[in-house]
Amino acid sequence: MSAPRRSFISTALVIAAFLPWFAVFFVPALSLLRTGQLTGTDWTLSGFFAGLVDPLLLAKVQFTAGQAMLSALISCLVGLPLGIYLRHSPRATDWLKIPFGVPTLVASAAWVSILSRTSMIYSFEAVLMSHVVLNIPWVASLVAEAAGGVPVGWDELARSLGARSFTRWRTVYFPVIAPALFSGFSQVFILCSMSFTLVTLLGGGPPVETLEAAIFASVRTGTLDLVTGANLSLWQLVLSLLPWLALRMFWKPIAIPAVRPASGAAEPRWHRVLALAWVAPYAVFFKDVEPTVLVSSKFWSEIRDPLLLSLGLAISVGVLAVLWSSLAIAALSSMREGRRQKVVEVLFLLPSGVSTLTLSLGFWLAYSAWIDPFEGSIAALIFVQALIFFPLVFRWLWPLARLRSQAALDVARSLGASPLRAWLEVEWPRLRQPFIHAVALVSAASTGELAAVSFFSSERMVTLPLLVSRWLAQYRFEYAHGVAAILLVISGVLTLGSRWER
Amino acid sequence: MTPRLAFLHSIRVALSFAILSADVSVRAADEPIRVLSILTYDSLMAEGGLGHEVVSRFEKSCRCRLKIQVAGDAAQMVSRLQLEQLRGRSETQVVVGVDQALWPQVRAMALKWTASGDFEHVLDPGFTPLDYGVMCWIWNPEWKGFAGSPPVPPRRWSDLLDPKWKRRLLLQDPRTSTPGLGFVLGAQAALGDAAGNFINGIRRQWMTLAAGWSGSYGLFLKGEAPLVWSYTTSQAYHLSRNPKSPFRALVFEEGNPIQIEGSFIVEKAVAGPGQQELARQFVQLLASKEIQERIPNTQWMLPALKGVALPEEFQSIPSPLKILRPPVEFDLRTTLRHWELSIR
């Protein structure tokens, strides 16, 4: 292919990949600064800053940051020894990631069930505990993966040189574990600062209220207050983007060749039990699922429309997120490796540091001429959810796509195949399964997503998570648990089903 | 409105006009079906509620169609109206279910016309009362959490701060629930300057601040707490279901707040005299004796019209010692802001 043509295709691909990024991420983010246009008031810099430092708003920022910091600290304090303990058990380490597949809504339903009739229900402590239990295994898995990568020989060498246990820990393990721990801390902080579902359902209302819950309240409940909503969103952006940027700037994991055992045969069974114990709280809610509810026609007639809508939405979001990621990957693949490619990659990943409700409010402010959140907008819901999941899919598929077999592609081209045909014959068989897996995983995650759904739904457009949330809020626990069980089954089928072929 | 929005708006208006014109020309041979757009909240349109009955009665008599838009609650309904105003749209023609606390937010939008009738409580011109209720704590003396005999229930607002009621009150969020807002305004009316400290103290007493009345009441019925903020008519509801019901409405020495719900016509949205007449007929139907008689047993509220006979179970509900009303002019946003600052 000639150089000008290659350059033209590369530019076209980058533009095509950035168009949806620009429309669904950049324009909405920018709109958060332009609320005066909607409220009919003049925008002034002093007024803008005065809004940002409002004492009530700062109290919410303080609460959000404080609970996220505390959740991250406790998760790391418990996750660190757990991860070190399980470092030589790769299968147990994998199992530590299972709780992250549990939809947050199901986790909330489980905690409501566990804490019912205790003094902890509907309190800050309940929110903190649910955050910590959800995140400890994640931190532990990061630590275990990092510590497990340290060759046994290093430790033995340090011992033979006379190093005591603390010195060995400080010089051999800590330099490897520290970046993983810092990464875990940042990730847990970001996730907890964006917490919406757990806080809304377990917190018992203000003052236990994160910025996300406050953004929702400013637009969808009470007095319509777009300026406050936008100011809250800007603070949310700061809270979630700063650790994200710090993570990208300072996290330099030490690359160690994998020395893990080929099978988990030598792994004590006790380790896997320990890893699986973190899922146990979520299994408890099954005891509250009434079989009579699941077989009643009234139940099914009430959930029929939400079920169909949720499935349609999940598949649309899954397909769109993967198509969009594919476009981004194609754009990056067409670029030469270097600084420019790195910048584009970071820009594609930027939405992962932005919360769902911040994006939703920005999207609504940007496209308010066409979207009315009170009427419900399925298109807005699909675009916003696809943007939320796009960085995850991209981060997962991009390293796989980079491992392309250039020699095989060149052979195919030399045999007369077009670039597309060569790619389909050489690369697609390798990438097909991960792509299908990505569609299934995003669809599974979408079925349990509540924040964007709460923002863009209407009385005529109710999804399964919204139904669970409403029924939990109305304390119709039997029905809520029934739907939560269905959500868990859908999520499990999509996740495990996509792995079946592997 | 920016030029871009104005341009898009004009395209939309032109398209709507073209579609409507086509629709009318098709119907020209018959009689055009008029449409009246109503905005209300979900419990009014719930199964067995008053809404469906009103809709079918009106559609039979008016040769028109009612387009019902349902918001989650009264506060969301007002937010939606405000949004329509911000966007320069006037889709809703009649609003049903706004109460006197939210009324100042929407008063400017209302047509200054009130349906005729001899009402128990009257607000400004434009607001036609639909029903009213006295807000109070509902008390369950047989709550299983009491060790031994039940304590004496609260009789004054300040009694609620007693440590024995810690995490034993079920209240609603005033930002999302009109009874919740009624509690805050009632406390202000009853306690005056001391209301701020009272609200700060009550923050330790509630078990949860539910988003809506149905949520907190559901929790009360499940026996999670002995006191729930509701209406005196809740006692009548329980007595109608079980004459031996232990649930009792508590009235306070300083008085109890009242909630008056009503309807109004959105002035800008009723274009011609024909449409305005249709809207007036609808609001007048809501204020008619035949509909008002259905309110106690469908909405479990008291009818707005004087002289409407009440069912037997309503005879035993306690009358308030004093009725607490919110100030005629108050800024909802400021009130909620003070409330939020007080509970932190």
The secondary structure of residue A290, as a DSSP letter, is: -
pLDDT at A500: 56
Which parts of B28-113 fold into alpha helices (H)?
Answer: 50-62, 74-86, 103-106
Q: Comparing A373 with B285, which gets the higher pLDDT?
A: B285
CB A2 within 8 A of CB A9: no
Is residue A46 domain-resident? no
What does the pLDDT look like over A158-169, one tens digit per residue?
A: 888 888 888 888
Is residue A13 domain-resident? yes
- Tell me the nearest-neighbour CA distance from A496 into chain B, angstroms: 36
Q: How confident is the model at residue A221 (pLDDT cuts 50, 70, 90)?
A: low
Task: Give how far the C-alpha of residue A306 lies from the chain's centroid of Cα atoms, to the nearest Å.
Answer: 23
Q: Which residues pair with B283 in a beta bridge?
A: none
Q: What's the Cα-to-Cα distance from B53 to each of A372, B38, B292, B299, rounded to whole Å? A: 29, 14, 12, 12
Domain count across chain A: 1
Is residue A48 domain-resident? no
Cβ neighbours of B212 in A, within 8 Å: 473-474
CA angle B228, B234, B240 (to 5 degrees): 140
Q: Residues 269 to 298 of A: which have CB under 8 A from any B CB?
A: none
Q: What's the Cα-to-Cα distance from A18 to each of A314, A331, A438, A500, rounded to whole Å? A: 23, 9, 21, 34
pLDDT at B152: 93
B55 touches chain A (CB under 8 A): no
- Tell me the nearest-neighbour CA distance from B134 into chain A, angstroms: 22
Q: Rank A1-15, A259-273, A441-455, B2-16 by mean pLDDT and report only the highest.
A: A441-455
When mean pLDDT is compared across A42-46, A210-214, A421-425, the lowest value belongs to: A42-46
Is residue A138 domain-resident? yes
Please tell me the distance from the alpha carbon of residue A292 to that of residue A481, in angstroms, as a whole number.
Answer: 12
ipTM of the complex: 0.77
| Cis-peptide into A207, omega within 30 deg | yes
The secondary structure of residue A252, as a DSSP letter, is: -
Is residue A180 domain-resident? yes
| Cβ–Cβ pairs < 8 A, chains A and B | 99
Owning domain of residue A102:
3-29+55-499
Closest chain A residue by Cα to residue B72: A459
Contacts of B33 (CB under 8 A, 6+ apart): B27, B63, B64, B65
Q: Which of A454, A331, A466, A474 is nearest to A394 (CA)?
A: A331
Q: Which two tokens stand for residue A368?
A: 């308010």
Please tell me the distance from the alpha carbon of residue B127 to that of residue B50, in angstroms, as a whole number.
Answer: 19
pLDDT at A1: 59
Q: Which residue has the tokens 């109890």?
A: B256
Q: How confident is the model at residue B138 (pLDDT cuts 50, 70, 90)?
A: very high
Please tell me the distance from the alpha carbon of residue A102 to that of residue B269, in angstroms, as a whole number.
Answer: 47
pLDDT at A81 over 90: yes
Look at B82 and A224 and tell me if their CB atoms are within 8 Å. Answer: yes
pLDDT at A477 over 80: no
Is residue A43 domain-resident? no
Q: Which two tokens stand for residue A105?
A: 């809504």
* Domains identified in chain B and CATH numbers: 31-132+260-314 (3.40.190.10), 133-258+316-342 (3.40.190.10)
A253 touches chain B (CB under 8 A): no
Q: Rank A209-223, B40-54, B298-312 by mean pLDDT and report only the highest.
A: B298-312
Half-sphere exposure of A5 (CA within 13 A, CB side): 2
Q: Which residue has the tokens 């308030």?
A: B320
Q: How confident is the model at residue A38 (pLDDT cuts 50, 70, 90)?
A: low
Look at B72 and A459 and tell me if their CB atoms are within 8 Å. Answer: yes
Q: Which residue has the tokens 């899922």?
A: A279
Amino acid present at A336? R
B335 touches chain A (CB under 8 A): no
Q: Percentage of chain A surpassing pLDDT 90?
A: 26
Contacts of B15 (CB under 8 A, 6+ apart): none
Is residue A42 domain-resident? no
CB A389 within 8 A of CB A58: no
Q: Rank A38-42, A96-100, A437-441, B294-298 by mean pLDDT and report only the highest.
A: B294-298
What are phi and psi for residue A209, nearest 5 degrees?
A: -150, 120
pLDDT at A96 over 50: yes
Half-sphere exposure of B91 (CA within 13 A, CB side): 18
Mutate to test the interface with A, among B12, B76, B78, B83 (most CBs of A within 10 A): B83
- Please state the rounded mean pLDDT for residues B48-68: 88
Domain containing residue A292: CATH number = 1.10.3720.10
pLDDT at B22: 42
Cβ neighbours of A368 in B, within 8 Å: 87
pLDDT at A474: 65
Is residue A17 domain-resident? yes
